[in-house]
Structure 1
Amino acid sequence: MPPTKTEAPMDEKLREFLPQFETFFEAIGFKQRQGRVWGMLVLAGRPLSLAEIAEQLGISIGSASEALTELREWGAITSEFSPTHRCQLHSPVSDTLSIVATVLRRREQVAIERFKESARAALSMVQRGDARDPRVETLQSIVTTSDIAQGAIQFFVTTANGTSMDADTRLSRLMRRMMGMGAKLSNEAMKLIRKGGERE
């Protein structure tokens, strides 16, 4: 049978951290409710049923179910049927690096691609006129910057999804490579600055 109502899923002092989960999730484009549900699962220390989540957070079964479905779609939780409790029990995914990679791949990368293609189409139209049109340089910069951003995201996703390493090892490798990439980008930025100075 499901856990009883008297079985508190977390220490009351830990519950005070839930608003921080809400705030963070909202800041990165998700709903506060998703952050609160995920925070509950993280801080509870054990899998929770739908009924427990709804009761402890003071939300309806429907709202809790919707939040769980959305979190599952983003790879943030796992759900497994428990024969003992005769219901689905939900747990947070411990590898948060993979969650970030999923968000970057499915949302940010798509948005950047759309923006880049729009800039490229506008650039094509502008280039038909005066080659010295100031819009050309700005639009070309958007396309180039988008390419760099997409490359960085793809690199992050590929590293985060490595299956032969644990999360700490992947994070260490990611940080080393990102630092190397940052140095290269700094060099490219300096070249652009020098180029701009020469034009003046």
Structure 2
Amino acid sequence: MTLEVNQGLIVEAELLSELSSFENFFSRIGFKRIDGSVFGLLVLAKKPLTSEEIEQTLNLSQSAVSLSLKTLSHFGAIETSGDRDQAGTKARLHHAKEDSLSIVASVFRKREEEVIADFKKMAQRVLEKSNSPEYANRKKRMQSILLTCEIAESVMNFVITMAQNKSKAEYLDHYEAMIKKLPRALDLLSSSVGPLTVPLSDLTASLTNNLKENLTEKFKNNLKGFYEKR
């Protein structure tokens, strides 16, 4: 049976089973399953929904939905506006953002960056106390952790920069095309690394430095040329 609220179609019955996929995904990346359920409903819904519609559709309490909406809003996954529902009553309407990259960037910026930064500081502290030859193995392990944290930071900065560039006039017209082609462009970038003719630590450090540049003029020009050929 298709779920309806206020005589308005919410989600087709054949799509309701997909909510569990949203729940599982959100749970695996550190959110609550209910956050995935609410976000999934807003993604699949044919119109913005009031909190009451979300409560009735998912059979959840008002407090549970309210907390989930606050979480999703904090991480930039949804937007809320004051408008009128189908009955003409003034209400707060919620809808999922269309730009998923901006959501990922927001999660990186508000949650993951701090976690990585704290772990990186720990690695730096331990390294400072591991200069003795007897700690050589520990030093190598901590150096690897430190480099991995730096790569993670660089990737997050890259995604955040891409999302932030959407608001810039020179990127606005090409943003969607750039996002669609980005996976292929990154595949081409990674394939250019070549065989490991240098120590892995040196290669990792080099990759980190390149990523930290976030899109140099040369890479932007190459990326632009790649798009134009498609």
Task: Tell me the equivalent position of 2:155.
Answer: 152
| CA distance, structure 2, for counterparts of residue 7 and residue 110 of structure 1 | 42
Alignment of 1:54-133 (within 5 A): 54-83=55-84, 84-127=88-131, 129-130=132-133, 133=136
Amino acid in the other structure paired with 1:174: L
Higher relative contact order (CA 8 A, sep 6+): 1
SS class of match (1:94): coil
Q: 1:4 to 1:16 in 2, by over 3 A?
A: closer
Q: Is the 8 A contact 1:22 1:32 kept in 2?
A: yes
Distance in 2 separating the partners of 1:171 and 1:124: 41
Q: Is the 8 A contact 1:159 1:170 kept in 2?
A: no
Q: What number of residue pairs does the alignment pair up?
A: 191
Supply the AA of the counterpart residue of 1:29. Answer: G
2:92 aligned partner, one-letter code? Q
* Corresponding position of 1:198: none
Distance 1:167 1:67, change over 3 A: farther
TM-score, length-normalised on structure 2?
0.74
The 1:183/1:191 distance shift into structure 2, 3 A limit, reads farther
Alpha-carbon RMSD across the aligned residues, in angstroms, is 2.5
Which one is further off, 145-154 or 39-48?
A: 145-154
**What residue in structure 1 maps to residue 183 of structure 2?**
175
Cα deviation for residue 143 of structure 1 reads: 1.2
Match of 2:31 in 1: 30
Answering whether residue 10 of structure 2 is matched by residue 9 of structure 1, we say: yes
Identity of aligned pairs, percent? Answer: 30
d(CA) in 2 for partners of 1:167 and 1:19?
31
C-alpha deviation, 1:158, in angstroms = 0.6
* 8 Å CA contact 1:97, 1:167 repeated in 2: no
Question: C-alpha deviations, 1:130-176, integer Å up to 9, x for none?
Answer: 27621111111211221122112111211122222355323145335
Query: Any stretches of 5+ residues in structure 1 without a counterpart?
Result: 196-200
Say if 1:159 and 1:174, in contact at 8 Å, map to a contact too.
no
- 2:140 is equivalent to residue 137 of structure 1: yes
Asked if structure 2 preserves the Cα contact closer than 8 Å seen for 1:26 and 1:32, the reply is: yes
Question: For residues 188 and 116 of structure 2, what CA distance do their matches in structure 1 show?
Answer: 23
Structure 1 residues 18 and 34 mapped into 2: Cα distance closer, same or farther (>3 Å)? same
What is the distance in 2 between the residues matched to 1:28 and 1:154? Answer: 19
For the residues of structure 2 that align with 1:183 and 1:109, how far apart are their CA atoms? 27
3-state SS of paired residue (1:46)? coil
1:192 to 184, 189, 199: 199
Between the aligned partners of 1:30 and 1:158, the Cα distance in structure 2 is: 24
Amino acid at match of 1:108: E
Q: Counterpart of 1:48 in 2: which secondary structure?
A: coil
Gap runs ≥5 in structure 2: 203-230
Choose 54-63 or 141-150, whichever is displaced more. 141-150
The alpha carbon displacement at 1:45 in A equals 1.1
Query: Is contact 2:105–2:163 with CA below 8 Å preserved after alignment?
Result: yes
